[in-house]
Amino acid sequence: MSRFCYSIALAGLVALCGHLQAASFDCSKASTFQEDTICQIETLSRLDEQLSAAFKNALAVSDDPEALKSSQRGWLLERDQCFNEICLRQVMESRIGTLERQVAMKQPAPEPVVTEPEIAPPMPEQEQPVETHQPTPSPYQAPAISEGQDYGYSSNLPPEGHQSEKMPLALKIFLVFIAVVSIASIILHHQGRLTIYQDYTDATFTSLIPLLSVALMWLLGWLEVPSPYGTYAGYGLGIIMAIVVIRATYLANGPSLWFVMALITKTTMISLFYLLMIALMAGNSARKPGESRRAFESRSRRESRERTAAMIAITALFTWLSAWLCRDRYFSPLGDYLAGRNQQQG
């Protein structure tokens, strides 16, 4: 019985050692995710052995071995960006193909077999009539263009860089205009001449327009409603809510310039808030060349915590600013808000 157990243990040890040495390197010294994956998956281990052989062959025929080694080191950095079997297999197969092509280019091509072409018998010479062509005078003679003469083409062209500077300048002017209008609206609001938000209900309803529209799209998609209908429903809800906000702003400010300024300020605040939220949520970090998996994961967790803290801080600031810009510090009934009964013309 002991011999049988010993035989099984020995066979398992031999198989394990064979598995650890299946790749071109010592798997017991694997230190990265990519090396561990290559050692664990037989297909990748065979590809690694083929890659090692192809690299040795290319190195043997290379005119610049140092450049090839540098290229291989650069490829290893590219390989270390893969975190699944499919990616590793693709980059390894691509590298094998590249190295094999380099070897094939160095091999001498077979000499072509030259066969003498059959020579056709000469044809009897025939005298061809000689035709003489007289040049036909042209009815129009193009005028000679003297050096430095200007025919007006260059003067009609816009100066270089004109188009590239026009849009950024217009955007800068627009942003300055929006900022000035928003600041002026806040000042006029606290002077009692303009109303940005009538009360907390007005501020909350206005701020939730984008969120509720997207939430409705997601809900209908989750319920497997066809995509166009879900999108139309989300846009429709957003448009209806926007009309309610425009009506409430009009009732609070009357038909005046204050109404337009208050509407611009509301739109600016909400747009800025949601753009910042989207930028923070989409700010996932990428792995840097040469960065280990552990360092990358640690940095990703740290940056994720920082983004979460920034989102909480921006949300708190936006909530405080919206409440500060409310004329009445209370929540009116939603029915009164939708009916416009809580609005007062300023």
Cβ-Cβ contacts under 8 Å for 206 (sequence gap 6 or more): 197, 245, 266, 270
At residue 319, the 3 state secondary structure works out as: helix
pLDDT digits (tens, 9 = 90+) for 242-277: 999 999 999 989 888 999 999 999 999 999 999 999
Task: Give the residue carrying structure tokens 């998996």.
Answer: 293
Q: How far apart are CA 127 and CA 193, in angstroms?
A: 106
State which residues of the chain have pLDDT below 70: 1-23, 108-167, 342-346
Residue 326 has φ and ψ, to the nearest 5°, of -90, 135
Q: How far is CA 234 from the centre of its chain?
A: 25
Classified as helix, coil or strand, 345 is coil
Res 9: pLDDT:
44
* Token representation of residue 20: 């650890």
pLDDT of residue 120: 57
Tell me what pLDDT residue 126 has: 53
pLDDT digits over 13-37, tens only? 434 444 444 567 788 888 888 888 9
Q: Which DSSP state fits 29?
A: G
What's the pLDDT score for residue 257? 93
